[in-house]
Amino acid sequence: MTSEYKTIDEANQAVIDKILAATPFLMDVVPAKSVIPLLDQQSGAKKVLLHAGPPIRWDEMTNPMQGSCIGAVLFEGWAADEDAALELLTSGKVAFEPCHHVGAVGPMGGITSANMPVLVVLNKTDGNYAYCTMNEGIGAVLRFGAYHRGVIERLRWMRDVLGPVLGQVLRGIEGGLNVNVLVTKAIAMGDEFHQRNIAASMCFLKEIAPRLVYADVPQDQLREVMRFLADTDQFFLNIMMAAAKAVMDAARTIQAGTIVTAMTRNGSNFGIRISGMGDTWFTAPVNTPDGLYFTGYSSADANPDMGDSAITETFGVGGMAMIAAPAVTRFVGSGGFGDALATSNEMRDICIARNPSFPVPTWDFQGICLGIDARKVVASRVTPVINTGIAHKQAGIGQIGAGTVHPPVECFDQAISAYAEQLGFTG
Amino acid sequence: MTSEYKTIDEANQAVIDKILAATPFLMDVVPAKSVIPLLDQQSGAKKVLLHAGPPIRWDEMTNPMQGSCIGAVLFEGWAADEDAALELLTSGKVAFEPCHHVGAVGPMGGITSANMPVLVVLNKTDGNYAYCTMNEGIGAVLRFGAYHRGVIERLRWMRDVLGPVLGQVLRGIEGGLNVNVLVTKAIAMGDEFHQRNIAASMCFLKEIAPRLVYADVPQDQLREVMRFLADTDQFFLNIMMAAAKAVMDAARTIQAGTIVTAMTRNGSNFGIRISGMGDTWFTAPVNTPDGLYFTGYSSADANPDMGDSAITETFGVGGMAMIAAPAVTRFVGSGGFGDALATSNEMRDICIARNPSFPVPTWDFQGICLGIDARKVVASRVTPVINTGIAHKQAGIGQIGAGTVHPPVECFDQAISAYAEQLGFTG
């Protein structure tokens, strides 16, 4: 070992100890540029957009992610219309950087720009922060590549009203909002925190609503924010993503072992990181989800998988915790209760342990999966299951279904080979 | 048969068709006396208190129910202090009537007086109404027999603020709030609607919160109501009780068959009604719940079972739907997931059918139990299981635990014997 650990098992234990000890708190909502220096450009400097997944160039992006970029350019006022935005984006004057490289995560396209408000999660155990944009609701939304006027107007309202109001309420909570508590509550209420966040979103509303009505904000803004939060069943997803990122980034400080510390997709490639290989991405062409389609759509319309949201599965929820959310199994086309149980049991076999902080009543109170071991994936050829929304391959149409997707096993093969080589094994 | 039905099975089918067809909507919150004529006394007329369970005299009531009566007298201003209240209650100048006799239900003591606000549920299918007081929260509360100043002050706040504000919001919802929709949502979120209502209470908050902030009410009242609703995890229980009463009262219009149409307890007796025997109560001494006690208490402190809340089990939720709420099983001392499953499977065997309107994901999407058949109870000696709070036998101490309780099987024996006799069977 190149580290203080005598064996891979010992290193892996140190990684999962970091996950177990993590205490993510939702502290604030602030403009992205105020916490992500890369986005805080000086006038004349190169513009930057963050995106989901491992690194990608503009010309490699699928249509929905490109659509999201157009939307972000219009939102930021970098261009006056779609044509001008496209010209800017293809000119090379906009740099693209993975969210993951700057402590952030983004759903679907994951496009994040300077003035978008982001959720601020602090892992108090290690003192590290993570960020994620807020959920825009359903229908035509930027994360699926929509960029028409209504989409941009909603983003501006989120910037001018939702973000500041929610930030004010959160700053008024002494010590912030304990995310683990919300996860523990909602996992007993059928959420798996990727496809289904309705209980957690209501738990969040229950915390925010009574504080919001005491906040010193204009009445019209209070009303709009209350309505938006009550209507947005997936609001908690982005909180869960930021929390999982904060936890897994703390785990990544242990630079040894074979625990998967990130899984993410950019519509072109799937990328993973393992603890022993630090910041290195191991990538392979991404799969297209299997699942159920909304009326009028089929797999022929589906975009290949994208988004940083698989950070939830990396942490042990989402598809890994399918049994927590039997109501989801039908929505993603994975059968009934027995199928959900079989899925979680299978996932348990590629993990090191289970996390007792988050007991699953429907799993006879076993904890969620803890620590995907890339060695076990390589040996068993069983890959993590990811619950996901399915985007139309054409920008702006949005979600057309929901299903499950698996990473290509090659990512894990590469990671283990590289780590073995780093440890001095050859051939 | 004394009816239009050729067989008991045919009659029972008619009863469960009524249950299946029922559409309870929460319409309003109003003072009890405005909808329950018996409580709307003229000056000088005999005062009336409603109570839980089958009929009972003052001197038969256990201590917590008597404490609730004292609290109600103080709340109504019929007496200035505890001594005067006791004098009035023992004088014979107060009449006691079961909630069930006036279209109402009440939790624990079930004491309901003229000026208490009640939830108004309309079963739109049959046009019949049912009423229930609102949940007061936890700790020292009237329903467990507490009557000190803080309890009475909260009841006055509920009369002066919570009731009117919530009534105003509900009247603003075109057609009222569809209770079935909330039940369907929350049953997929681990509620069984007797011991556990946290998801349904949040679903209710999610409906009310955005409307409340648009309501024309003073800001301080808006704030107080929002905080109370966000803090009161059992708020939905009383809505469920009123809805179940509305449904079962519609079922009771079929005066034939052996379906249980009410189960209730007054701390002294357990009473049931069956469809073929109309308004007749079949009673036997009530049991004391088995369960887990809060620190410092034991079964020696427990009051015998009381409350109209077993209307939830009559409808098919509560203990009958234990499998919907695996998180409850540990709270009531009933083991893990397997035990919850075994309980619901056993309950299925004393029911006619299952209700497809309320599929339970943890039961592989089977519907909740539908129609307890007293014949099956008599034949199998398996009695319905009821999830319940455990009251201290001394008034005012409040809840000391939670557990399960069964009706005495004699109630069912009597009911079936009486019905057989009515149908002309003798000996």
User: Residues B156, B288: one domain?
Assistant: no
- Print the domain residue range for A411: 255-422
User: Residues A124, A272: one domain?
Assistant: no
User: Residues A235, A381: one domain?
Assistant: no
Q: Which residues of B touch A214 (CB under 8 A)?
A: 223
Average pLDDT in chain B: 95
Based on the number of CB atoms within 10 Å of its own CB, is A290 exposed (0-12), middle (13-18) or buried (19 or more)? Answer: middle
Q: Which helix (H) or strand (E) holds B352?
A: strand B351-360
Parallel, antiparallel or unpaired: strands B306-307 and B260-266: antiparallel
Q: Which helix (H) or strand (E) holds B123?
A: strand B117-123
Q: In A, residues 168-197, which contact B (CB 8 Å cutoff)?
A: 185, 188-190
CA distance B228 to chain A (A): 8
CA nearest B190 in A: which residue? Answer: A189
Provide the residue type at B74 as one letter. L
Inter-chain CB proximity B205 and A210 less than 8 Å? no
| pLDDT tier, A287 (very low <50, low <70, confident <90, very high otherwise) | very high
**What's B128's domain CATH number?**
3.90.1710.10
In this predicted model, what pLDDT tens digit does every residue of B114-131 receive, in sequence order? 999 999 999 999 999 999
Check residue A398 and give its pLDDT: 86
Q: A231 — contact with chain B (CB < 8 Å)? A: yes
Residue A33, domain member (yes or no): yes
In this predicted model, what pLDDT tens digit does every residue of A84-132 receive, in sequence order? 999 999 999 999 999 999 999 999 999 999 999 999 999 999 999 999 9
The backbone torsions φ and ψ at residue B25, rounded to the nearest 5 degrees and listed phi first, read: -125, 135
Residue B98, domain member (yes or no): yes
Out of B209, B239, B269, pick the residue that ends a domain: B239
Burial code of A172-199, b = ≥16 C-beta within 10 A, e = fewer? ebeebbbbeebbebbbbbbbbbbbbbbb
Q: Which residues of B touch A329 (CB under 8 A)?
A: 361
What does the pLDDT average to over B392-397? 89
User: Residues B211, B270: one domain?
Assistant: no
Do residues B108 and B62 lie in contact, with contact meaning Cβ atoms separated by under 8 Å? no
Residue A1, domain member (yes or no): no
What does the pLDDT average to over A271-287? 97
CA nearest A227 in B: which residue? Answer: B210
Out of A174, A205, A239, pick the residue that ends a domain: A239
Q: How far apart are CA B370 and CA B360, in angstroms?
A: 13
- Share above pLDDT 90 across residues of chain A, in percent, rounded to a whole number: 89
Write the CB contacts of A124 (distance below 8 Å, at least 6 apart in sequence): A23, A24, A25
> What sections of B138-178 are H helices per DSSP?
149-157, 163-171
| pLDDT tier, A3 (very low <50, low <70, confident <90, very high otherwise) | low
User: Residues B60, B188: one domain?
Assistant: yes
In this predicted model, what pLDDT tens digit does every residue of A19-28 receive, in sequence order? 999 999 999 9
Inter-chain CB proximity A210 and B230 less than 8 Å? yes
The answer to whether residue A41 scores a pLDDT higher than 90 is: no
Check residue B337 and give its pLDDT: 86
Q: Which of B202, B338, B362 sits opposite A337 (nearest CB)?
A: B362
User: Residues B227, B91: one domain?
Assistant: yes
**What's B263's domain CATH number?**
3.90.1700.10
Q: Which residues of B touch A219 (CB under 8 A)?
A: 213
User: Residues B149, B268: one domain?
Assistant: no
In this predicted model, what pLDDT tens digit does every residue of A173-226 receive, in sequence order? 999 999 999 999 999 999 999 999 999 999 999 999 999 999 999 999 999 999
The answer to whether residue A397 scores a pLDDT higher than 90 is: no
Find the range with the poorest average confidence among A299-303, A329-333, B414-418: A329-333
Inter-chain CB proximity A206 and B362 less than 8 Å? no
Please name which of A277, A246, A243 lies closest in space to residue A260, comparing C-alpha atoms.
A277
Q: Which residues of A touch B345 (CB under 8 A)?
A: none
Q: State the complex-level ipTM.
A: 0.92
The answer to whether residue B334 scores a pLDDT higher than 70 is: no
- Into how many domains does chain A fold? 2
CA nearest A223 in B: which residue? Answer: B213
Residue B383, domain member (yes or no): yes
Q: At what angle do helices A198-212 and B198-212 cross, to 10 degrees?
A: 50
Provide the residue type at A28 as one letter. D
| pLDDT tier, B427 (very low <50, low <70, confident <90, very high otherwise) | low
Write the CB contacts of A191 (distance below 8 Å, at least 6 apart in sequence): A197, A198, A199, A200, A236, A324, A325
Average pLDDT in chain A: 95
| pLDDT tier, B396 (very low <50, low <70, confident <90, very high otherwise) | confident
Strands in A24-31's sheet, in edge-to-edge order, are: A104-105, A128-133, A117-123, A24-31, A177-178
Inter-chain CB proximity A189 and B210 less than 8 Å? no
User: Residues B276, B368: one domain?
Assistant: yes
User: Residues A43, A188: one domain?
Assistant: yes
Indicate if the alpha-carbon torsion angle A325, A328, A334, A338 is positive or negative: positive
In this predicted model, what pLDDT tens digit does every residue of B133-145 receive, in sequence order? 999 998 889 999 9
Inter-chain CB proximity A337 and B361 less than 8 Å? yes
Write the CB contacts of A357 (distance below 8 Å, at least 6 apart in sequence): A20, A180, A184, A367
| pLDDT tier, A385 (very low <50, low <70, confident <90, very high otherwise) | very high
Please name which of B308, B222, B246 lies closest in space to residue B35, comparing C-alpha atoms.
B246
Parallel, antiparallel or unpaired: strands A366-372 and A282-285: unpaired
Check residue B44 and give its pLDDT: 64
Inter-chain CB proximity A189 and B199 less than 8 Å? yes
Inter-chain CB proximity B327 and A361 less than 8 Å? yes
User: Residues B209, B302: one domain?
Assistant: no
Check residue B140 and give its pLDDT: 87
Check residue B335 and give its pLDDT: 74
User: Residues A180, A142: one domain?
Assistant: yes
Structure-token pair, residue A72: 């972000």
User: Residues A116, A175: one domain?
Assistant: yes
Q: Which helix (H) or strand (E) holds B34?
A: helix B32-35
CA distance B79 to chain A (A): 36
Residue A244, domain member (yes or no): no
Q: Which residues of A touch B210 (CB under 8 A)?
A: 223, 226-227, 230-231
Check residue A327 and give its pLDDT: 80
